[in-house]
Structure 1
Amino acid sequence: KNEERVVDGEAEILAPRKQQTVDLTVLPEITFG
């Protein structure tokens, strides 16, 4: 069960990071565009 908890924790951490990377790639196009 501990392994499952670790996977869930990683999923919660990685998901926001992916959203941030997408925002960083999209925002410059909007600000400079």
Structure 2
Amino acid sequence: MFGVTYFKMKDKKEAELWLGVDEVRVKIYPKDNK
């Protein structure tokens, strides 16, 4: 994806995730799928 900024994060179960932010939306991705 173009223009997406990713931030590392963890959920309540301590699973590592990516928070992807672009000009239209915010999405959460599994760590192995950025």
Q: Normalising by structure 1, what TM-score?
A: 0.19
Tell me which protein shows more strand as a share of its residues.
Answer: 2
Q: Greater share of helix residues, 1 or 2?
A: 1
Highest CA radius of gyration, 1 or 2? 1
Higher RCO by CA contacts (8 Å cutoff, separation 6 or greater):
2
